[in-house]
Amino acid sequence: MNTEIKDKIEVTKPPIASIGVIGWLRKNLFSSWSNTILTLLGIYILYSIIPSFISWAFIDASFVGSTKQECSKEGACWIFIKENLKLIFYGLYPSEELWRINSMYFILLVCGIYILTPNLKYKGWVGSFLLILFPILSVVMFSGGFGLETVETRLWGGLFLTLVIAGVGIVLSLPIGVMLALGRRSKLPVVSLLSTIFIEIWRGVPLITVLFMASNMFPLFMPEGVNFDKLIRALIGVMFFSAAYLAEVVRGGLQAMPKGQYEAAQAMGLSYWRMMALVILPQSLKMVIPAIIGSFIAIFKDTTLVLVIGLFDFLGIIQFVGTNPDWLGFSHEGYVFAAAIFWIFCFGMSRYSQNLEKKLDTGR
């Protein structure tokens, strides 16, 4: 009997308007009057931006050629970027020495890929090489010595300089930041007070004043006759500035550590430094990796400020080539290109940190 009834009842399909593409559209775009208006507004915004941008940047743009005259009037003139590419990427670095930069890029790339590939051995060694030997090697390769021709830092520029400043800021500021964070959390009042003052002063002022200070006041602080490079002064400024921000991030991680971890480590008879190095820091740093990468992104974007003290970083050089009389009037192309490169770096880092956050979430 049951089967008879079942046969008689036809399975009614859901109404066509609530499934598939139409259903999705109705649910997500046209569910009510106000939603429909918003959707139309959104379509209008897209319509007014995207087609004109695409035709400017790609369809009407000129890619082939080597002079300004070969550019079309309507579209972007990417020839401008192409012709100045060496300047934009390397600054005034001598052409015959470019292999030095490129080979370091290559080493960095290989090591980076090695570390990012899952399930490989000796990652710790490659990581320590990148953090300790690689910077020393870079100094020699970039500035010269040991038989290599000396290249003064005033010739450094472009994306290369941006990466150098960001890299130094990132690599050196992390240990200082960790020390400052430990200092601020210390039970010794003098140490904690000094660390707090140091952190709050650097965090309270804009980077631009730090750079002004680095370029105007550092020379006064040094003994007479000691005169160090403008780039190094800027690097010191950037380093302390980002160390203060990282210190606060790390402190957040230290505070989030359950008290039981400290107590357990002490019960095992570990000294302060061994407790920190073996128990507390590994766990709390892991917890704040996304925030640390967030600070790295901020440092990377902030490196553009060095142009106010006369260093030609990536953005500085884009500004500079735009004032070249042969290439006047192409600032749009320059800015769009710079924005695209910066965006790729920063967006890539932030996506990587989101992935890492998921992967590292092993606690629960």
Residues that bind other proteins (CB under 8 A): 28-29, 31, 35, 38-39, 41-43, 45-46, 187-191, 194, 200-201, 203-206, 208-209, 212-213, 216-217, 219-224, 297, 301-302, 304-305, 307-308, 315, 319, 322, 331-332, 335, 338-339, 342-343, 346-347, 350
Closest CB 214 distance from other proteins, rounded Å: 10
Which residue number, 20 or 135, has a Cβ lying nearer to other proteins? 20
45 versus 120: smaller Cβ distance to other proteins:
45
Compare residues 246 and 307 and give the one whose CB is closer to other proteins: 307
Give min distance, CB of 238 to other proteins, in A: 14
Query: For residue 40, how far is the Cα from the chain centroid?
Result: 36
For the CB of residue 58, give the shortest distance to other proteins in the complex, in Å: 18
Rounded to the nearest angstrom, the gap between the alpha carbon of residue 223 and the centroid of all alpha carbons in its chain is 36
Closest approach of Cβ 279 to other proteins, in Å?
A: 18
236 has which bridge partners? none
Q: How far is the CB of 195 from other proteins (least distance, A)?
A: 10
Beta strands in 88-219 (DSSP E): none
**Among residues 142 and 342, whose Cβ is nearest to other proteins?**
342
* 3-class state of residue 265 by DSSP: helix
Could you tell me which residues are beta bridge partners of residue 148? 145
Q: Minimum CB separation from other proteins for residue 203, in Å?
A: 7
User: CB within 8 A of 158, min separation 6: which ones?
Assistant: 87, 88, 89, 90, 91, 312, 313, 314, 317
Say how many residues make up the chain: 364
CB closer to other proteins out of 38 and 109: 38
103 vs 271 by CB, closer to other proteins: 271
CB 292 within 8 A of CB 251: no
Question: Could you tell me which of 225, 201, 199 has the C-alpha nearest to residue 213?
Answer: 201
Site of tokens 């003064």? 152
